[in-house]
Amino acid sequence: MRLVVPVSGSDPKTRLSSLLTPDERREFTEAMLADVIGALDAAGHSPAVVATAPVTCDAPVTVDERGLDSLVNGLLAETNGELAVVMADLPLLTPATVERLFAPDADVVLAPGTGGGTNAFVSCHPDFRVDYHGASIRDHRRIAREVGATVAEVDSRRLATDIDEPDDLPEVLLHSNGAAADWLRDAGFELVTDGGRVTVERA
């Protein structure tokens, strides 16, 4: 089965602009991507990266400027629906979590993200297609139902935690020792636990 990690190579993670420069956002994106590829590799998979602009990583990279929906739906059409897609901003991913993603005996396995997204899926149904806008997990359940696919969902915090906003950064420092966590620590970020919410501050 083809396994693809789509990533934005040009101007990634704009919602982190208040904390990181454009160059830093690219570096942090590549660090998260390294964590994702590392977890997939260690679980015995061979991911291919598809990026909107060149990125550096330990996997073959194809540059493709299509938007996410047309890219993934194009790949689903090419592969007759035998496709797995894992997002690049999941630095908490571990090999054990990857194994849980590929374990269920269902036509379509969905990994919900916090906030209604779909952070990963494994499809072996010829007619499954994606629609990442809005609360995509709801749309993907509906699409799978409409094409007659059986569906399973993976209950994983590590797969659910995509890193988009400053509020997401504590999760990396709390639950990972990978490349993204190292990058944040090297850049001077540390956890701050005064008051209610756990946040990060930059030294």
Residues forming the site for a copy of itself (CB under 8 A): 94, 96-97, 100, 112, 114-116, 133-135, 137-138, 155-161, 170-171, 174-175, 191, 193-194, 197-198
Q: Which is nearer to a copy of itself, 81 or 170 (CB)?
A: 170
Tokens standing for residue 161 = 């935690």
Q: Which is nearer to a copy of itself, 1 or 96 (CB)?
A: 96
Q: Which is nearer to a copy of itself, 58 or 165 (CB)?
A: 165
The CA-to-CA distance between both ends of the chain, in Å, stands at 44
The strand pair at 48-51 and 61-63 is best described as parallel
Rg (CA), the chain: 17
Q: Which is nearer to a copy of itself, 45 or 100 (CB)?
A: 100
CB atoms within 10 A of CB 8: 18
CB 118 to a copy of itself: min, Å: 11
Tell me the C-alpha distance between 130 and 197, whole Å.
Answer: 34
CB 110 to a copy of itself: min, Å: 11
Q: Which is nearer to a copy of itself, 30 or 162 (CB)?
A: 162
HEC string of 98-150?
HHHHHCCCCCEEEEECCCCCEEEEEEECCCCCCCCCCCHHHHHHHHHHHCCCC
CB 54 to a copy of itself: min, Å: 27
CB atoms within 10 A of CB 23: 8
CB 161 to a copy of itself: min, Å: 8
Q: Which amino acid is at 121?
A: F
CB 134 to a copy of itself: min, Å: 4
Q: Which is nearer to a copy of itself, 61 or 122 (CB)?
A: 122
Indicate the SS3 state at residue 185.
helix
Q: What is the dihedral of CA 140, 142, 143, 148, to 10 degrees?
A: 120
CB 139 to a copy of itself: min, Å: 9
